[in-house]
Amino acid sequence: MFDLDKNFVNQLYNSHQNSENLPSRTSIGRFTEGLLELLFPQLSEKNFISQGELEVYASSLFNELYGIFVRIQGRLHKPAETIVQNFVEKIPAIYQQMINDAKAINEGDPASVSFDQVVRTYPGFYAIACYRIGHSFCESSVPLLPRILTEYAHAKTGIDIHPKAEIGNNFCIDHGTGVVIGETTIIGDNVKLYQGVTLGALSVKKEMAKTKRHPTIEDNVIIYSGSTILGGNTVVGKNSIIGGNVWITESIPAFSRVYHKPQIEVRKGGQKNYTVDTV
């Protein structure tokens, strides 16, 4: 028999007794998966035999969401029922945003064979869809739950999008592993990011929590893999292309092409080194 120290057990017990009844990651993940399956049959194995059956399923999902909000009612600015009703009314608009995102990914990736493939298999689409849901909750000043939701997507996809970031229409993340989008980031329409892109802060001081710390990316910008763009005053102007592995901490004018020109040294046998121009 292996026993914890009794004083430590008492400490843990008191901690559990005094803790708030917070929503679980499991329940939030289950609701999110259920909602995405409702919106996209490509993700679902359900076969609704009637519209009424679909409506019953949808109602059960929203009742589940209501139960999650009831647990944190003390932290909410409005009754849980009001917040759920507001969210239900937003769902058609959120759904259309998700459709547009999937279309942008499908049209922007030569490897994609169909819209259905994007919805069913692309981690970029999944992470963006979870962000769209979480951001809607942020707009209703819901605490905790939006971040739990986007961290749920982060764990599944490797894509880290803060739910308070502001992201426009037709957003495309290609591949996506290692993408980081910070809390105060603003992204316009028709923006495309590749893997390893960081939209971050120049400083992580706690006293900057209420300030804009992350960059603004205007419409029709492409940012290639491994690039890092930092700072709340940094603006990447519309229709710009940011090359791979670029480090940016100052604003970039519209219609710019930004890249650095590295050299690779090659030694072949005992011969003299020579360089390869990589741009």
**How would you write the pLDDT of the chain (279 residues) with one tens digit per residue?**
678 888 998 998 888 877 667 778 899 999 999 999 999 999 998 889 999 999 999 999 999 999 999 988 888 999 999 999 999 999 999 999 999 999 999 999 999 999 999 999 999 999 999 999 999 999 999 999 999 999 999 999 999 999 999 999 999 999 999 999 999 999 999 999 999 999 999 877 776 667 899 999 999 999 999 999 999 999 999 999 999 999 999 999 999 999 987 777 777 766 666 665 655
Give the global pTM.
0.89
* In the chain, ranges of CATH 1.10.3130.10 domains: 18-158
Residue 273 pLDDT? 67
The domain at 165-279 falls in which architecture? 3 Solenoid (2.160)
User: Under a CB-based contact definition with an 8 Å cutoff, are residues 102 and 118 in contact?
Assistant: yes
Beta carbons within 8 Å of 4's beta carbon, 6+ residues apart:
12
CATH topology of domain 18-158: serine acetyltransferase, domain 1 (1.10.3130)
Residue 22 pLDDT? 75
For residues 158 and 231, give the distance between their C-alpha atoms in angstroms, rounded to a whole number. 23
b/e map 34-63, b = 16+ CB within 10 Å: bbbbbbbebbeeeeeeeeeeeeeebeebbe
* In the chain, ranges of CATH 2.160.10.10 domains: 165-279
Question: Terminus-to-terminus CA distance in the chain, angstroms?
Answer: 65
User: Under a CB-based contact definition with an 8 Å cutoff, are residues 215 and 230 in contact?
Assistant: yes
Residue 274 pLDDT? 62
For residues 168 and 183, give the distance between their C-alpha atoms in angstroms, rounded to a whole number. 15
